[in-house]
């Protein structure tokens, strides 16, 4: 009975009159064909007659042939809206197939819950990629796209397109974190993870889901850092177990005060089994739960992930594959992805973009590159390495930026509170 209902539902996702009406409209005005060229493909048509007619219309326009005669089909009044509706129906038909595939797997004798969930996750990714590919590698009319641009611009009035880091100068230079690949690099111990978890905290507080994937920290310590940073507490006090009853009460109060703000912060312990496709699925799940149309993904850090993936493959090749897949994921999700990266040792004190490890792959793929360094050098730096929690002066160099200006942001790292603030 359920399979029969699914079959009927699939049929309801077809509008043959709309298909014929759109095709009739395309034969009447050449501009209408170019208006919808980036919206529809032969796959959106469901009957052999409409598929054939569409292919003939394409050949006529592209090869300067006579247009087919469709006199018995009534043209639609709005060809763009009709094209979008047919594309939407096509998407729904792809999604409608998923429950049937799942039902078939559940009937197998050797079925396992993890196996079914894994296949379902893979199928969802496949359908999402298929939908995304409808527009890729196709010429799209600028006039068609502009109406979408206007809708987006109207929605973002006064806000901009980027996700806010809540570091004012950095947001001004980047336009917020755009849906792209953002690289964060610096010497060990400078505060890269602290800065990224702080940004993640702010984004979560804004109601945007965050996925923080760590290959370098245990989850309980990241959780402790997040709540202590929100409350202005010293995480090291609790991590070392050297806290008083009053300080324990402060930590409990921090949880009660900030648990709702950090509800959208999802921490993931990375492993050799982690793939970009798994991460994308988790991101989409978090976006659905939050009712959000974007998210933030942070990977801490790239080379550690690549080292877990390296077997017979060249390390630089694995790094390049990961950053390429992460960038594509950012565009599919319409979401910023921050990737923490290591540096060559020679670039610890005054890094440039050439000091990135595997620099060719990273420099090419990154849309922005942010290089963190201390605002002191040489013997001054050695004197400072005394284990104290005194504030540190930092500089964040925006060495590559597809979305705005290059330059530096002066920061102060308050180690006692795990907080990084901008300096004038």
Query: How would you write the pLDDT of the chain (424 residues) with one tens digit per residue?
Result: 444 444 445 456 889 999 999 999 999 887 788 788 778 888 889 999 999 999 999 888 877 788 888 888 999 999 999 998 998 888 888 777 777 667 777 777 777 776 666 666 666 666 665 555 555 445 556 666 666 666 655 555 555 568 999 999 999 999 999 999 999 998 888 899 999 999 999 999 999 999 999 998 899 999 999 999 999 899 989 999 989 999 999 999 999 999 999 999 999 999 888 888 888 888 988 998 899 989 999 999 899 999 888 765 688 888 888 999 999 899 988 999 999 998 888 877 888 888 877 667 788 889 999 999 987 654 444 444 455 667 889 999 999 999 888 999 999 998 888 889 998 7
Confidence (pLDDT) at 213? 96
Number of C-beta neighbours around residue 377 at 10 A: 11
pTM beyond 0.75, yes or no: no
Which strand (E) or helix (H) includes residue 371?
strand 368-374
CATH numeric code, 2-152: 1.10.860.10
Nearest to 373 by CA among 365, 364, 381: 381
∠ CA 145-151-154, nearest 5°, is 135
Confidence (pLDDT) at 132? 58
- From the number of C-beta atoms within 10 Å of its C-beta (0-12, 13-18, 19+), residue 193 rates as buried
**φ/ψ (deg, to 5) at 370:** -115, 120
Residue burial 226-237, b: 16+ Cβ < 10 Å; e: rest:
bbbbbeebbbeb
Distance CA 282, CA 289 (A): 11
The residues facing 265 across adjacent strands are 210
Distance CA 104, CA 108 (A): 7
Distance CA 330, CA 80 (A): 28
Residue range(s) in the chain whose domain bears CATH number 1.10.860.10? 2-152
Confidence (pLDDT) at 51? 93
Residue 199 contacts by C-beta under 8 Å, 6 or more apart in sequence? 165, 166, 167, 177, 296, 298, 338
> Which residue has tokens 């690099």?
185
Strand ranges across the sheet with 296-300:
265-269, 210-214, 296-300, 337-341, 181-186, 368-374, 392-401, 407-414, 419-422
Confidence (pLDDT) at 12? 66
Confidence (pLDDT) at 158? 53
The residues facing 76 across adjacent strands are none
Q: Are 68 and 52 in contact (CB under 8 A)?
A: no
Question: Distance between terminal CA atoms of the chain?
Answer: 68
Confidence (pLDDT) at 305? 93
Residue range(s) in the chain whose domain bears CATH number 3.40.50.300? 168-422
Residue 370: alpha-carbon gap to chain centroid: 18
Confidence (pLDDT) at 1? 43
Under CATH, what is the fold of the domain 168-422?
A: Rossmann fold (3.40.50)
């Amino acid at each position: 009975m359920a399979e029969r209902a699914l079959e009927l539902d699939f049929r309801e996702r077809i509008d043959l009159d709309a298909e014929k009406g759109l095709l009739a409209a395309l034969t009447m005005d050449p501009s209408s064909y170019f208006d919808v060229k980036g919206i529809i493909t032969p796959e959106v048509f469901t009957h052999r007659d409409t598929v054939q007619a569409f292919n003939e219309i394409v050949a006529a326009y592209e090869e300067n042939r006579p247009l087919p005669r469709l006199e018995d089909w009534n043209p639609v009044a709005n060809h763009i809206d009709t094209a979008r509706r047919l594309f939407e129906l096509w998407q729904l038909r792809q999604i409608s197939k998923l429950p049937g595939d799942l039902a078939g797997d559940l009937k197998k004798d050797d079925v396992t819950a993890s196996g079914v969930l894994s296949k379902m996750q893979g199928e969802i990714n496949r359908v999402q990629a298929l939908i995304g590919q409808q527009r890729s590698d196709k010429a799209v009319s600028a006039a068609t796209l502009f109406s979408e641009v206007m809708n987006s611009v109207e929605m973002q009035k006064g806000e901009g397109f980027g996700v806010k880091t809540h570091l004012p100068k950095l947001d001004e230079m980047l336009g917020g974190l755009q849906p792209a690949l953002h690289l964060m690099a610096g010497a060990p111990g400078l505060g890269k993870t602290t800065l990224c978890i702080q940004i993640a905290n702010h984004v979560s507080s804004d109601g945007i889901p965050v996925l923080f994937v760590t290959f370098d920290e245990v989850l309980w310590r990241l959780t402790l850092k997040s709540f202590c940073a929100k409350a202005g507490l010293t995480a090291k006090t609790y991590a070392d177990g050297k806290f008083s009853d009053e300080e324990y009460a402060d930590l409990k109060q921090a949880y009660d005060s900030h648990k709702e703000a950090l509800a959208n912060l999802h921490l993931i312990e990375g492993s050799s089994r982690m793939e970009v496709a798994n991460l994308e699925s988790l991101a989409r799940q978090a976006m659905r739960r939050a009712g959000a149309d974007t998210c933030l993904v942070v990977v801490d850090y790239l080379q550690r992930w690549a080292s877990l993936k390296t077997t017979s493959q060249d390390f630089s090749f694995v790094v390049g594959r990961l950053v390429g897949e992460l960038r594509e994921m950012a565009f599919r999700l319409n979401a910023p992805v921050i990737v923490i990266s290591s540096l060559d040792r020679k670039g610890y004190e005054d890094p440039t973009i050439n000091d990135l490890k595997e620099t060719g792959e990273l420099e090419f793929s990154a849309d922005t590159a942010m290089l963190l360094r201390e605002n002191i050098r040489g013997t001054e730096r050695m004197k400072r390495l005394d284990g104290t929690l005194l504030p540190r002066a930092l500089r964040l160099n925006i060495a590559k930026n597809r979305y705005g200006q290059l330059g530096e942001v002066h920061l102060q790292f308050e180690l006692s509170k795990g907080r990084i603030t901008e300096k004038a």
